[in-house]
Structure 1
């Protein structure tokens, strides 16, 4: 059944071993660095019960009659995708900002395993059964599901087995109950989630057919032996009035240490086979890239809004140079929107019977969104102007000795008084120019995979034969050249 926000909070009060800034965190639901995102995830659960939002967040399962979360439903129709997109937009609008790792962007990685059933069955039919059971569990139990991908890696010029073996997560032994794993993973939101799809990183397998590093499983985040070592959080460290974005939307990244953690056999999705690991890595984002890229669309809207309000309040929106920069932001935004919309309009059946977004359009949209983000942020900075990095803080605007001067120099007219300008400049600074803004830029670039892997996904999914056939006919080439493609003339 769909949980409430309070039920979610209670589910992560399980005594997990969480550390930040050299101190042990006793309760992630109340700690100032974690509480803002815990509250947002709890709000997402509560939106499923709120009469104002439940219709956009839930659906009734035909076979069970139960009400389930739209975001956890494996997509089989275009209507499913439209509903998922609307639900994500509803969440981002309700919370007033962009949050990425809240479940809908990570559950899609497990759906990709449905498309790998033949590969998994060739190894062990039990693995495909485990995949189905966990997808059903995610659908009906509604856990907060995240993703574990990147390892510390160590010296990447060496094979995993040629250095400290713990640099990549690996199996150290089997038991009657399951496998025991050791190593570490970087995971966003891990410390306040319920479970994680833990899978192999991009690794150099060499010629090996079997490897203890080639494994994928569902980890219960309350398992004994897990340790969460978190980076310093942005929330709770600076005044929210001066940092309205980072104080609310920081999704804490964590080095999750697996210190001989036992994974039950029923949670093992694939194990040891490098062919399965390579296949899963190649298809991992065929669904989840949609939700990830959709966040960039919302971020583009926030940048446009912040930049446009800044030029409007100073009367610069009628200048041609300003309009050109705004138009550039609009082209970026609409480019992402077009790729997302077209990927569903031209969606294609998957090998496992799901409906996946058009892969070429989705992956090229992700490249557009990520590769141009830094340029768009810089354009938005230019439009917001230099005051976003030199404006005093709210305490100065409030102090009786400095308030009159700041009221004088920051008030433009009766419509734009000093306090509204301060709020706008503080928001733009935190969105575009703060430590948190730099962190988010890097996160968006690498969160699903590094840029070379983004382009690799495009290469594997683009229809190269179309342009080749076009030029073959236009240039009058003989059918002999088709032999170089492994094809025969029709």
Structure 2
């Protein structure tokens, strides 16, 4: 089945413990900091029921309709269908939202690929993987991911400081394991469940560790506490900050205070080899929708910069066109990596079709590492007025409004109101607190840059370049170009 927006909202009105700015939230669906993004997620659910969208956002299997986002990819068409579904959503909501479920279900598919390895290490939990993947599909669950711990002093192992700084198992019971600790999670306060996995490096040469645990945590479970950062929504007028007031995906420090995880929700436990294996393959699918989101960020920067250049006639200048071309190259570079990763897609160990790994990971490095420079180019093209333009109330006021409307009107086509709207949009996209937050989010949301580069290194086939140089340089046959 596919849920409606109201069914989704009702599902998260489960008495969960959520705190925002020191206040215990009574209803997450109506709290000012959370309501806008929850409404967006509900809208995505409702879109799947509308005739104009249902063909792209859903598929039918066994007389049941399911979400296109959660369909395990078996062929190239499945990936193209997912791209089309994302395109429909982004254009309908008019912005970019990263955490809606499709970018985290891929981490579950990675578990499928490692099912045999995990079963070899500990056969108790392999069936849990299959069941949970089906549950997400059949129940249309809003599923997020829990990666980063507070960590504390990283020069010390967790056992030599407060053990709760990293999530760990405190004891086993007949019903399941009991966990303590905390994770930073985006969208946790308004999601159904999270896939919790460890941070690699919590152990040294240990084969077994209470910190090596992977499981599903229900976000409304007893002992789960969501301590959210203050939201950007409703801090100021939506007319002045149109993106921050609609698309802020609120993060939380999610505290696990003796939370029971039933055995059927455990994927691996104690074996550090299992945890390391899972982390090494975690993003082989989820990196795709994550990078795809940045394509829409690039489109917003191009659109904002191009409209600002057009309104003043600067789009005719060669120097302006060159900067716009830089933005286009960035956008098309992302598109090329994504397109090539599908065209060169390969079968995974679990029988799914995964994007070609080195191409996908190289695209992630390109998209994330170049974003700061592209944002600055967009700022240059939008000009200094994005940081000095008064707010909307000043344009409305009788005393100041007549002057602002005079000096912000350019011609019959560009009157002050449209120009102010464009400048406010560009400011929120490039200069605001929300813009800075999003930039930092991109740098770390799927691990920091050095991990991105490590993924490229580990997925690239070096045999070709080594063999090419061996032959070109006339190196002896004693050298094996395929070995590292």
Taking structure 1 as the reference length, the TM-score comes to 0.98
Provide the C-alpha distance between the structure 2 equivalents of 1:159 and 1:289, rounded to a whole number of angstroms.
30
The 5-angstrom pairing of residues 351-430 of structure 1 reads: 351-430=349-428
* CA apart distance, 1:103: 0.4
User: Deviation digits for residues 112-156 of structure 1, max 9, x if unmatched?
Assistant: 001111221112223110000000000101111000000000011
- Give 1:299's aligned residue: 297
Contact kept, 8 Å, 2:284 with 2:354, in 1: the verdict is yes
- Give 1:54's aligned residue: 54
- Give 1:136's aligned residue: 134
Provide the C-alpha distance between the structure 2 equivalents of 1:282 and 1:91, rounded to a whole number of angstroms.
30
Provide the C-alpha distance between the structure 1 equivalents of 2:103 and 2:393, rounded to a whole number of angstroms.
38
Return the match for 1:206 from 199, 204, 227. 204
Contact kept, 8 Å, 2:463 with 2:482, in 1: the verdict is no
RMSD: 0.9
Return the match for 1:460 from 447, 458, 463. 458
Structure 1, unaligned stretches of length 5 or more? none
* CA apart distance, 1:222: 1.1
- Give 2:20's aligned residue: 20
* CA apart distance, 1:484: 8.3
User: Deviation digits for residues 242-299 of structure 1, max 9, x if unmatched?
Assistant: 0000000000000000000000000001101111111111100000000000000010
SS at match of 1:401: helix
- Give 1:348's aligned residue: 346
Contact kept, 8 Å, 2:470 with 2:481, in 1: the verdict is no
SS at match of 1:482: coil
SS at match of 1:442: helix
User: Deviation digits for residues 364-399 of structure 1, max 9, x if unmatched?
Assistant: 000000000000000000000000000000000000
Contact kept, 8 Å, 2:68 with 2:85, in 1: the verdict is yes
Provide the C-alpha distance between the structure 2 equivalents of 1:426 and 1:236, rounded to a whole number of angstroms.
15
Return the match for 1:241 from 221, 239, 242. 239
Provide the C-alpha distance between the structure 1 equivalents of 2:311 and 2:124, rounded to a whole number of angstroms.
62
* CA apart distance, 1:57: 0.2
Contact kept, 8 Å, 2:102 with 2:289, in 1: the verdict is yes
Structure 2, unaligned stretches of length 5 or more? none
- Give 2:2's aligned residue: 2
- Give 1:86's aligned residue: 84
Provide the C-alpha distance between the structure 1 equivalents of 2:338 and 2:47, rounded to a whole number of angstroms.
24
Return the match for 2:276 from 269, 275, 278. 278
Provide the C-alpha distance between the structure 1 equivalents of 2:112 and 2:474, rounded to a whole number of angstroms.
43
Provide the C-alpha distance between the structure 2 equivalents of 1:90 and 1:469, rounded to a whole number of angstroms.
45
SS at match of 1:232: coil
Provide the C-alpha distance between the structure 2 equivalents of 1:203 and 1:81, rounded to a whole number of angstroms.
33
- Give 2:120's aligned residue: 122
Residue 145 (str. 1) matches residue 159 (str. 2) = no
User: Deviation digits for residues 341-368 of structure 1, max 9, x if unmatched?
Assistant: 0000000000010000000000000000
Contact kept, 8 Å, 2:195 with 2:217, in 1: the verdict is yes
- Give 2:318's aligned residue: 320
Contact kept, 8 Å, 2:242 with 2:425, in 1: the verdict is yes
Provide the C-alpha distance between the structure 2 equivalents of 1:441 and 1:78, rounded to a whole number of angstroms.
31
SS at match of 2:72: coil
How many residues were matched structurally? 484
Provide the C-alpha distance between the structure 1 equivalents of 2:201 and 2:70, rounded to a whole number of angstroms.
29
* CA apart distance, 1:483: 7.8
Provide the C-alpha distance between the structure 1 equivalents of 2:237 and 2:15, rounded to a whole number of angstroms.
30
User: Deviation digits for residues 385-433 of structure 1, max 9, x if unmatched?
Assistant: 0000000000000001111100110000000000000000000000000
Provide the C-alpha distance between the structure 2 equivalents of 1:203 and 1:485, rounded to a whole number of angstroms.
27
* CA apart distance, 1:203: 2.0
Moved more, 200-209 or 251-260: 200-209
Provide the C-alpha distance between the structure 2 equivalents of 1:162 and 1:452, rounded to a whole number of angstroms.
26
- Give 1:77's aligned residue: 75
- Give 2:31's aligned residue: 31
Residue 196 (str. 1) matches residue 194 (str. 2) = yes
